[in-house]
A and B are shown apart, each in its own frame.
Chain A
Amino acid sequence: AQKVTQAQTEISVVEKEDVTLDCVYETRDTTYYLFWYKQPPSGELVFLIRRNSFDEQNEISGRYSWNFQKSTSSFNFTITASQVVDSAVYFCALSEGAHGYGGSQGNLIFGKGTKLSVKP
C-alpha cells in the first residue's frame, strides 16, 4: 500500500538558514508522481512541484530545490536562505498510476506535514 512519511513534525530555524524537509514514500507502482505543497496560515494548499517516477533529475526553483532519489524512496525539499514568509506547513504527497492521458489522475496520498517556523 502507498504511504508517505514526513518524520519531521516541526522545524524552527532562524532567517537565512538553509533547511531540508524530508519525505520518504512507499509504493508498489513503477509509475507514480510526487508532489510538494505549501500550506500557509491562511489555509490554502499551494502547489510547489510535481515529479514523475521516471525523472530523477534534481530541480531548483529560486531558493527551492528538490532531491529525488528512487534508491532510498525519498523526495526531499530544501529551502536555501530561508525567509519569514516561508513559515508554513509543507506536505509531501504521492499519486500512483497513470491513466488515460498518461498524467497523474490517481488520488493524492499526503504525508502528515512538517511545520516550518522561520524566525527573524
Chain B
Amino acid sequence: EPEVTQTPSHQVTQMGQEVILRCVPISNHLYFYWYRQILGQKVEFLVSFYNNEISEKSEIFDDQFSVERPDGSNFTLKIRSTKLEDSAMYFCASNQGYGYTFGSGTRLTVV
C-alpha cells in the first residue's frame, strides 16, 4: 500500500536554529498538508498546499514557517529560528480526494 514517508523520525535542534522537515507524499496525490501535535494535545492543522502554492494556512503558520515542493516528489516544512514551543510531532499528509494518508511523523525537540 502506498505510503507517505517522513524524514527524519526524530530531530533535536538548538533554539534559534533552522530546521527542515521532509516528506515524500504518495506519488499521484495532489493535495499536501502539514499538521502539528504538541505532546499530549490534539492534532492541529498548519497548512495545505495544492498546485504549487499554499491553499490554506492556520494562525499557527506564521512567518516563521514556510513550505516548498522543490521537485516532483518532496514536500518540505521549514521552521526558521526555532523556539522551545515548536517542540512537537509534525505530520505530513497527502490526499487525492478519497481520504488522507499520514506519514509516521517527525518528532522535533527544541532545546
Cα A90 to Cα B84 in complex, Å, equals: 27
A8 to chain B, nearest CB (A): 14
In the complex, which residues of chain A have a beta carbon less than 8 angstroms from the beta carbon of B44? 110
When the two chains form their complex, are residues A101 and B45 in contact, meaning their CB atoms are under 8 A apart? no
For chain B, what secondary structure do more than half of its interface residues adopt (helix, strand, loop), or is it mixed? Answer: strand
Q: Is the CB of B33 within 8 A of A44?
A: no
Stretch at the interface among B19-27, B35-43, B62-70: B35-43
Query: Which of A102, A110, A112 lies in contact with B97, CB distance below 8 A?
Result: A102
Residues of B within 8 A of A91 (CB): 42-43
Tally of chain A residues near chain B (CB < 8 A):
23
Q: Give the interface SS of chain A, mostly helix, strand, loop or mixed.
A: loop
Are B102 and A43 closer than 8 Å at their CB atoms?
A: no
Which residues from chain B contact A111 at a C-beta distance below 8 Å? 42
A interface list, Cβ under 8 A from B: 35, 37, 43-45, 47, 50, 91, 93, 100-113
Closest 9 CB pairs of A and B: A103-B97, A101-B97, A45-B102, A107-B45, A110-B43, A44-B104, A112-B42, A105-B31, A110-B42
